Chain A
Amino acid sequence: MRTRVFVTLKPSVFDPQGTTVTDALHTLGYASVKDVRQGKYFELDIDAASSEEARRLASEAADKLLANPVIESYRVEVDGR
C-alpha cells in the first residue's frame, strides 16, 4: 500500500536551507514568496491489510527513524487520504 510521509522542521526551528531558497526565489523576482520551509518526503510501499494498518506502521517508522522529534514533525498520507 502506497504510503507517504512528509517530514518538516517544527515551526519554532530555524531552517537555514529554506531561508536560502527564499532568498534565491526573491533574486529570481518572486517577491510574493514570503517564506520557504524545506523538508523530506518518503514513499513507503507497505504490505498491509488496511489503510489504518499502513498508517500505523508508517507513523511508527517516522517516530523511530524518519523524523527526529526534537526538531521535526511529520504527516502521513495513505493512498492520498
Chain B
Amino acid sequence: MKFAVVVFPGSNCDHDAYHAVKHVLSQEAEFVWHKNTSLGAADAVILPGGFAHGDYLRTGAIARFSPIMQAVTAFAAAGGPVIGVCNGFQVLLEAGLLPGAMLRNRGLHFRCEYVHVRVEETDTAFTSSCRLGQVLRMPIAHGEGNYYAEPDVLERLERNRQIVFRYVNAAGEETDESNPNGSIHNIAGITNEARNVVGLMPHPERACELALGSADGRGLFESVINGLGDRSARTVPSSVAAAVGVLEQ
C-alpha cells in the first residue's frame, strides 16, 4: 500500500509519519510537496502535524489553499482514505473536509504529553482494526486543539456517529480532567459522513513502537492497510489521481 505524506512549509511530523508507515509498517511511502497538484498513485493520504505556513492567520487557514489540497479534496470525495493528525486535522477543518473549528486550548497552555483516547467508532477507514471502546495511549503536542462546533453540528456528529475518539482517563472514563484542551464533548477526533476522512489531535504516528513509549497508534494505520482490499472494489485511487489531472487542465 502506498501512503502519500503531504509536506507543507512548516510541517514537522512528516518524517515521523513517513517512518511509521514505511519502516514500522513496511508500506510504501512518498513525500508530496504542497505545491504539487497530484497525489500520484497514492492509496491513502496523511496530512501530518506541524505548523503549516507558520499557523499564520489561523491554524490550517493558509494550508487549505495550497495547490495539493485540490487533489486531496478530490481524492477524499472519491472515497480515498485521508487522515489528518494534529495540524493536519486543523487543515481538514479549514478545508471543510471535516466540520467544526479549533480554538486555543482552555488554559492557553501548549500541551505536550501522553493522553488516553477511547475508540468510539470502528467503521471508519482508520479504526476498522481497532476494538470498540479500546483505550489508546498516544502523545499530543498542540496549543490549539480545543475542538468546537455549533450545537446543531455537534448534534449531527453525535447522531451520525462521527465522533471517532474521545479523551478519557486510563480506565476509559470520559472525565473533565482527562480533557487536555477543553474540547467540546471531549472530542479528540472525528470522521466525515462517508467515514473515509479522519482527523485527530493525538499523534498515532509517534505511537507505533514500544521503544517510543506506545504502540497503540499502529491500529489506525493497520486499519487502512487491512481495509485496502475492501475499498479497491469500489474506488480506484490511481484513476482519481488521473481525474484530478484532467480537472487541473
A residues with a Cβ closer than 8 A to B are 9, 12-17, 20, 65-66, 68, 70-71
Contacts and interface: CB of A to CB of B under 8 A. Distances in A.
Interface in B71-124: 93-94, 99-101, 103-108
A17 B148 contact: no
21 contacts: A12-B150, A13-B103, A13-B148, A14-B106, A14-B148, A14-B182, A16-B103, A16-B104, A16-B105, A16-B108, A65-B61, A65-B65, A66-B57, A68-B58, A68-B94, A68-B101, A70-B93, A70-B100, A70-B149, A70-B150, A71-B101
B186 interface: no
Contact of B61 (A9, A16, A68): A68
A71 B148 contact: yes
Interface of B: 57-58, 61, 65, 93-94, 99-101, 103-108, 146, 148-150, 182
A16 B107 contact: yes
Contacts of A12: 150
A17 B146 CA distance: 13
Given A15-B103, A17-B108, 14 more contacts: A9-B103, A14-B103, A16-B103, A16-B104, A16-B108, A16-B182, A65-B61, A68-B101, A70-B93, A70-B99, A70-B100, A70-B101, A70-B148, A70-B150
Contacts of B94: 68
A65 B61 CA distance: 7
Contacts of A17: 104, 108
A30 B113 CA distance: 36
B136 to A, nearest CB: 27
Name the 6 nearest CB pairs between A and B, nearest first: A70-B101, A71-B101, A16-B104, A68-B101, A16-B108, A16-B106
Contacts of B150: 12, 70
Nearest to A40: B57
Contacts of B100: 70
A68 B100 CA distance: 10
Contacts of A20: 108
B148 A16 contact: no
B168 to A, nearest CB: 22
A71 B60 CA distance: 14
